[in-house]
Amino acid sequence: MKKIVLIISIALIGTSAFSQIEKPVKWSFAIKRESKDEAVVFLKADIQNSWHIYSLDQKDGGPIKTAFTFLPSSAYSLIGKATQPKPYTKFESAFNMNVSYFENAVVFQQKIKLKLGKGTLHGKLEYMTCNNQKCLPPEDLDFAINL
C-alpha cells in the first residue's frame, strides 16, 4: 500500500512540475503627476528573453494586440489614447503577415485629467505573448493605481 501511495505521489509531483503555467511577462503600474490636474499613467511590461508582446496598433487578422481599458470614474478622465514607443516590425509566417511587437521591456503611457484630489484608477489589459516556437493564450489582467 505504501508503494502505491509513493508511486501516485511521484506521478502527481511530476505532472504538476510539467504543467506549470508559463508567465514570461510581469506588469507594473505607476502614476506621475505633471500638474495639479494632469498625470501620466505608466504601464510597464518586463518580458523574459526570447518572448515578445504585440503593439497597441497591431492589425487585425494576426496576434492579439495589447489593449488597455480604463474603467470610468468621477476621479479622472482620459486625455487622448494610450501611447507606446516605436515597436519592432517583421513578417511572421505563423500569422502570414507583418507584426509589430516589443521585446525585453516596454512602457505604455496614458495621460489623464484628475478631477478629484484622490481616488483609484481601475483598469484591465489584454495581451498575447509569443516566442519563436509558440504563442500562449491571450491574458487578461485587472489593475488598480492610487491617484
Q: Is residue 10 part of a domain?
A: no
> What's phi and psi for 145, nearest 5 deg?
-130, 130
81 domain residue, yes or no: yes
Indicate the pTM of the whole model.
0.83
Domain containing 38: what range? Answer: 24-146
**Residue 20: per-residue pLDDT:** 63
Q: Decide if pLDDT at 4 tops 80.
A: no
pLDDT digit string (tens) for 7-16?
A: 333 333 444 4
**Residue 19 confidence (pLDDT) above 90:** no
CA proximity to 25, closest of 117, 125, 147: 125
Is 17 a member of any domain? no
pLDDT, the chain, mean:
88
Rounded Cα distance, 91 and 133, in Å: 15
Kindly state whether residue 6 falls inside one of the protein's structural domains: no
Question: What's the total number of domains in the chain?
Answer: 1
CATH number of the domain at 110, please: 2.60.40.1250
> Could you tell me if residue 8 is inside a domain?
no
Q: Is residue 5 domain-resident?
A: no
pLDDT digits (tens, 9 = 90+) for 39-80: 999 999 999 999 999 999 999 999 999 999 999 999 999 999
Domain annotation covers residue 67:
yes
